[in-house]
Amino acid sequence: MRNTIAFILVLFFTTVFSQEKINVILIGTVHFNNPGFDRGKVIDIDILNSSKQEDLEKITNKIVQKYNPDKVFVESSYENRENLNKQYLLYVDNKPFYNLDSIQKNFFKRYYSENEIFQLGFRLAKKSKNNAIYSIDYNLEQRYDLIESETNKNTLIDPTSFSNRIKTLSDFTNNCVAKNSLSDVFVCINSKEQRELNKGAYISILNRLNNDDTFFGSDFVASWYKRNLIMYSYVQNQVSIGDKNIVIIVGAGHAAMFYDFIKNDSNFNLIDFNEVME
């Protein structure tokens, strides 16, 4: 009996530890439908024009050709994952997954017709013959509206520091979006400079917005990390034994965080977007 148990344990640990790392293609992006929720204002990418549609075809074809991803993860509510999957299966069957005539608000019209979840995520998953799309978003309330007043309370911080950082990041992002090809846009958005601009604001500015009685800044930064860690856990807990390649499509701010998570996760191997496009 002992020999049997020992054999089973050896077999189990051999199987677990012999699993190869899963390749992760991380695609940070602007939101194609440009909802205007972020602090910085980004120019429209006009994803429905013919040249951008051709670029999407080239990018997704290249990813499928080189990696044929087993799963595609998108920035959609994890709680709403079943509804998104129903929409995806309609898309796979070449059926309408939304009724534009029944949608009253322009925000939702643009969301369903332009957002990267559908334009890039659905397209890529279908070409990869995936039978599902994987949602990972999780929302936490963050009081961006209090940043200015909290900054003004701190005499050690330039009151314009955060707004100046947001402008620098917005200018950088708009320079990326203005590039001719969508692949160049993604290369720019997924650059080291963009990641450092994005993450740097939280550590060098926002984390300092504390006083002796409250810790607004550290609580704010912690909630941003918490949201991203929860989102990342939805990736970790939805991969399966046998998965070799996955794609994660999220906003640039999330991608900047995910980059570090993946680099420090022994289960994953990060594939740079430049490498994908070679």
Could you give the CA distance from residue 112 to residue 124 in angstroms, rounded to a whole number? 16
The pLDDT score that the predictor gives to residue 247 is 99
What is the C-alpha to C-alpha distance for residues 62 and 69, in angstroms, rounded to an integer?
11
Q: How far apart are CA 39 and CA 276, in angstroms?
A: 30
Domain span including residue 184: 24-277
DSSP state string for 181-220: SHHHHHHHHTSHHHHHHHHHHHHHTGGG---SS--HHHHH
pLDDT value for 38:
66
169: which residues sit within 8 A by CB, 6+ positions away? 40, 194, 197, 198, 201
Q: Is there a domain that residue 15 lies in?
A: no
The count of structural domains within the chain is 1
Q: Please indicate, yes or no, if residue 13 is contained in any of the structural domains.
A: no
Residue 206 belongs to some domain of the structure: yes
pLDDT at 14 over 80: no
Mean pLDDT on 150-176: 87
What's the rounded mean pLDDT across residues 102-131?
A: 93
Is 16 a member of any domain? no
Q: Six-digit token pair at 164?
A: 């100046």
> How confident is the model over 146-164, as a mean pLDDT?
81
Which whole number is the average pLDDT over 47-66?
A: 97
Quick check: 137 and 75 in contact, CB under 8 A?
yes
pLDDT confidence of 191, banded at 50, 70, 90?
very high
Contact 179, 185 (CB under 8 A): yes
Q: 266 lies in a domain?
A: yes
Question: How many Cβ atoms sit within 10 Å of the Cβ of residue 91?
Answer: 19
Per-chain mean pLDDT for the chain? 90
Q: Quick check: 15 pLDDT over 50?
A: no
The predicted pLDDT at position 8 comes to: 54
In a domain, 12, yes or no: no
Whether residue 159 has pLDDT greater than 50: yes
Q: Tell me the pLDDT tens digit for each residue of 240-274.
A: 999 999 999 999 999 999 999 999 999 999 999 98
User: Helix H segments across the chain?
Assistant: 2-17, 50-66, 81-92, 106-114, 116, 123-127, 147-153, 161-177, 182-189, 192-204, 216-236, 252-263, 273-277
In a domain, 30, yes or no: yes
For the cut 60, the answer to whether the pLDDT of residue 13 exceeds it is no
CA 145 to chain centre: 23
Residue 41: its pLDDT value, please? 77
State yes or no: pLDDT of 26 exceeds 90.
yes
Asked if residues 42 and 34 have their Cβ atoms less than 8 Å apart, the reply is yes
Residue 4 belongs to some domain of the structure: no
pLDDT digits (tens, 9 = 90+) for 33-51: 987 766 667 899 999 999 9
